[in-house]
Structure formats: structure tokens, C-alpha cells
Amino acid sequence: MTFTGAGATAHAAPGAKEKREAQQLAQEAKKLAAKGELKDAARKYKRADQLAPSVTYKLEVGKLLADLGDYVQATTVLREAANATATGAADKRASATAVKLGGEVEAKTPKLELEMMEPEASKVTLLVDEEEVDPTSGAYAVNPGKHVIVARAAGYRDWSKEVRLDEGATKTIEIKMTRSAGGDDASGGGGAPRWSAYTAWGLGVVGLGVGAGFGVAAIQSTNDVLNVYGCKENICPPEAAADLDIARMNGNLSTVGFIVGGSGAVGGTLLFLLSDDEGKPPANGADSASARGLELRPLLGAGYVGVTGSF
């Protein structure tokens, strides 16, 4: 940004008392600066400017801040000096000096170019040296030295990086965050992975196939016993007992198969409805299982399949 001088700012005229106090503070500030006590000198000049606003006082504050290496604040103060109303020859000279010095300081001020790669910037809280910044603002002015950048977003691991910038440097930082384990969202949990639904459905299909196969076998076995042993009114002779046991076993296996198949179909459907696509967390505002406080887990074992959960 180019510095230009302008007389646009108006202040209430200070009284004689305020002017005297301001002058006294300015004299004290000058002595402190000569001794190298730049921070105290800057505070004195700033107080003098508050009592009796002056381009000269602002210029002195800007100079001291620049000497202290606080280029960001120095640029702000020097811009104020350049744009303040100059009422006399001294103020006009100070305004011209502020324009020149402000341009020099701004050219030496390092800048960070922060580019959000993932997720989108609107979902991210971005901090530079613990101060929140707009992730869409582009170049961000900082002072020379080390800086810590931190990015936070729901469903992602915190991202951080320490960088060092020299005077006049511009550094571009690409921020690509990684999803937290299990796709955790802001509430601390995500839906079940979608593959678990497909697994349950697959077991359900197998269970229904087994149930149908043993069901047919059970019917055929029973009919064979009835025909071979001449059973009447479902009463068979003792020698038919072994074959009847086989028919009953086929019937029992058929029942188990249908139970497994039904459980797999129901469990798979529930898991699918409450799952996160490809294991990713649902979009902001989505009605996820975690958002409703519901957790489902598949139950698999010999002869059974289903789901268990808690509310």
C-alpha cells in the first residue's frame, strides 16, 4: 500500500493545560529515547498525542516503534500521521516525513500468504501468534522473526507450523489439514464406516440362502419319511426316528439361517443409514449418529449376526 498525505482527520482543539502537559511529556520522551529507553519514550509520545493531537507526536511514536522492530504497529501509526491534519509548517514537514518513512517501513514488513487447501477456509479457525486472523484475507503482515501458525476445524486434527521471516520477506504457507481418527466431528464421534453395512448385508444374503436351502431339505426329508414309513396322521413307527431327527435338524438349521439373514438385512440397513460415506464425517449440520447420541456396533458370531448399541 502506498503512503499518501491528507488532511482528513479533525480533533477537538486541546486547551492550554493539555498543550503544556503534552509538551512536558514530549520533552521527557526525548530524553528517554536518547538513553535508549525506546518503549517508555514511545508511551510518553503516545500520551502527549492523546492530550494534544499532533502529526509530530505521531511521527515520533512511529519512528520509535520502527526502531523497536514493531513494523506492523509502526506502519499503522505512520499512516495516521500521514493522514492527519497538518496545521503548521512543523506538522507539514512531519507529515511528509511520515509518508516517506511509512513507505520504507511497509516495504520491510514481512508478509504471510496463508492458503487453505483442506478443508475450505470458512470451516477453519486460524491463529497467528495466538491472534485469530481471517483465513480468506490473503497476505498477513507480521514483524520479522519467528511466528506460530495454528489451524483448527471440526473433524480435523489441529495443524500447526512455526516459520521465521526476515525483513521484506513474503512466505506462502499451504495449510492442508488431516481428518481426525474415525472422522470425529465437533461432538467427538462419527458414524460407523459404510463397509460395515455392506458386510452385514453380505452375511444376511448368506444367511437367507442357507435358510432357504435347509428349508427345502427339511421339507423333502419329512416327505420322504412320511412316504417310506407309511406314517399316518404324522405318527411314524419307531424305526423312522433317525430319519425324523435329520428332518428336524434341517428345519432347525433353516430357522437359524433365516434369523441370521433377517438380522443381517436389518442390521445392514441401520448401519448404512447411520454410516459416514467412506468413513468420512458428515457435513456440518448433518443428523449423524453421534449428533443424536446413538452408537451402533455390529455383533457377529457363530450362528448369529446383529447390532448392539447405546443411547
Q: Tens of pLDDT along 41-68?
A: 999 999 998 998 989 999 999 999 999 9
pTM above threshold 0.85: no
State the DSSP code for 274: T
What pairing do the DSSP bridges indicate for beta strands 170-176 and 304-310?
Answer: unpaired
Please list the residues that pair with 132 across neighbouring strands. Answer: 127
Residue 94 burial by Cβ neighbours in a 10 Å radius (0-12, 13-18, 19+)? buried
Listed by start position, the domains of the chain span 16-108, 111-178, 192-310
pLDDT at 180: 85
Give the pLDDT score at 40: 94
% of the chain surpassing 90 pLDDT = 31
Q: Summarize the confidence of residues 216-238 as an average pLDDT.
A: 72
Which of helix, strand or coil describes residue 189?
A: coil
Euclidean distance between CA atoms 186 and 290, whole angstroms: 10
Answer whether residue 209 shows pLDDT above 60. yes
The rounded distance, in Å, linking the Cα atoms of 76 and 82 is 10
Can you tell me the mean pLDDT for 106-131? Answer: 89
Q: What is the mean pLDDT of residues 68-85?
A: 90
Neighbours of 51 (CB within 10 A): 20
Residues 30, 38: contact at Cβ < 8 Å?
no
Element at 153 (helix H, strand E): none
Transcribe 60-112 into DSSP letters.
HHHHHHHHTT-HHHHHHHHHHHHHB---SHHHHHHHHHHHHHHHHHHHHS-EE
pLDDT at 84 over 80: yes
Are the C-beta atoms of 192 and 276 separated by less than 8 Å? yes
- Distance CA(69)–CA(105), nearest Å, equals 10
pLDDT of residue 193: 67
* Joined grid coordinates for residue 221: 426329508
CB 270 within 8 A of CB 168: no
| Better-scored residue on pLDDT, 122 or 138 | 122
Q: What percent of the chain has pLDDT over 70?
A: 74
**Highest mean predicted confidence (pLDDT) among 132-136, 222-226, 235-239, 303-307:** 132-136
- Torsions phi, psi for 49 (to 5 deg): -70, -30
Decide if pLDDT at 202 tops 90.
Answer: no
User: Would you say 189 and 167 are in contact if contact means Cβ atoms under 8 Å apart?
Assistant: no
Question: What are the pLDDT digits (tens) for 245-287?
Answer: 776 787 787 787 778 778 878 877 877 776 655 444 444 444 4
Continuous segment of H or E residues that includes residue 295: strand 295-301
Q: Residue type for 170, please?
A: T
What's residue 85's pLDDT? 81
Residue-wise pLDDT tens digits, 133-163? 887 777 889 999 999 999 999 999 999 999 9
pLDDT higher than 70, residue 119: yes
Q: Does the pLDDT of residue 6 top 60, yes or no?
A: no
pLDDT of residue 258: 77
Superfamily of domain covering 16-108: Tetratricopeptide repeat domain (1.25.40.10)
Q: How far is CA 42 from CA 28, 73, 304, in A?
A: 10, 12, 79
| The three grid cell numbers given for residue 147, joined into one nine-digit string | 511466528
Per-residue pLDDT band for 295 (boundaries 50, 70, 90) equals very low
Task: Say how far apart CA 145 and CA 138 lie, in whole Å.
Answer: 20
Highest mean pLDDT among 6-10, 156-160, 222-226, 302-306: 156-160
Could you report the per-residue pLDDT of 160-182, keeping only the tens digit for each?
999 999 998 999 988 899 998 75
CATH assignment of 111-178?
Answer: 2.60.40.1120
Given a cut of 90, is residue 302 above it in pLDDT? no
Decide if pLDDT at 213 tops 60: yes
Cβ partners under 8 Å of residue 49, min gap 6: 22, 57, 58, 61
